[in-house]
A and B are shown apart, each in its own frame.
Chain A
Amino acid sequence: DQQVKQNSPSLSVQEGRISILNCDYTNSMFDYFLWYKKYPAEGPTFLISISSIKDKNEDGRFTVFLNKSAKHLSLHIVPSQPGDSAVYFCAARSGGSNYKLTFGKGTLLTVNP
């Protein structure tokens, strides 16, 4: 039972355009959501997060949107840069779960120059 789903294994965009990465979840107990970025042969690095009491969080070129009624979140990258090419993981935490995260399978973003 996959509680965090990233249905697009890959996404390709042109440099300067917007990248939109999507994530759906099924567990209503999730109260905190995070995006991690991973380059090949490196560990994941934290990118941005959002609490379930908010619907938007912005950090520079990165914005995360949360639609609780649809159990959907998305990561927008504007403008996209070639250095953004990486695998992006969506993760969610269930309140009271002893701070365990459930990760999606990841989306490979390729930004073409």
Chain B
Amino acid sequence: NAGVTQTPKFQVLKTGQSMTLQCAQDMNHNSMYWYRQDPGMGLRLIYYSASEGTTDKGEVPNGYNVSRLNKREFSLRLESAAPSQTSVYFCASRTSGYTDTQYFGPGTRLTVL
């Protein structure tokens, strides 16, 4: 089991460029999440997908789009990158049931110049 994998690990973009961050999980989880972590800000939810075929906005969705491609994969797209989107991005998936453990990927460090 690889758990939650994310690609790429690092990326540098210029303002206005677009890119897609990929996330996949092999734990057969229904729910998947995208977070960003900024210094001194903790983890903030960008988008989530409660199940295949559904997506919803989180706390900071502006400037992002998501696609739940299938049960395993959940991608995050930046259509026109801005310096304010410089951050570390984490994907997570969740076990089912009352206990709410989320399993996180290793992160993508994105710099927008």
Interface residues of A (CB under 8 A from B): 6, 9, 32, 34, 36, 41-46, 49, 51, 89, 91, 93, 98-101, 103-106
Can you give 16 A-B contacts (C-beta < 8 A)?
A9-B40, A32-B98, A32-B100, A41-B107, A42-B107, A43-B4, A44-B43, A46-B102, A46-B103, A51-B98, A89-B42, A89-B43, A98-B48, A99-B100, A103-B43, A105-B41
Q: How far is the CB of B107 from the nearest CB of chain A, in Å?
A: 5
Kindly report which residue of chain A lies nearest to residue B31, judged by CB atoms: A99
In the complex, chain B residues whose CB is within 8 Å of the CB of A6: 42
Contacts A34-B100, A45-B104, A99-B31 known; list 18 others, CB within 8 Å: A9-B40, A32-B98, A36-B104, A41-B106, A42-B106, A43-B107, A44-B90, A46-B102, A91-B43, A93-B100, A98-B48, A99-B94, A100-B33, A100-B45, A100-B48, A101-B102, A103-B42, A105-B41
Flag whether B56 is at the interface (Cβ < 8 A). yes
B27 to chain A, nearest CB (A): 13
Interface centre among A34, A43, A44 (most CB of B within 10 A): A43
Bound-state CA distance A49–B102 (Å) is 11
Describe B's contact surface by its main secondary structure. Answer: strand
Residues of B within 8 A of A (CB): 4, 31, 33, 40-45, 48, 50, 56, 58, 90, 92, 94, 98-107
B52 to chain A, nearest CB (A): 15
Contact B99 A49 (CB under 8 A): yes
B100 touches A49 (CB 8 A): yes
Contact, CB under 8 Å: B41 / A44: no
B80 CB to closest chain A CB (Å) equals 26
Smallest CB separation, A96 vs chain B (Å): 12
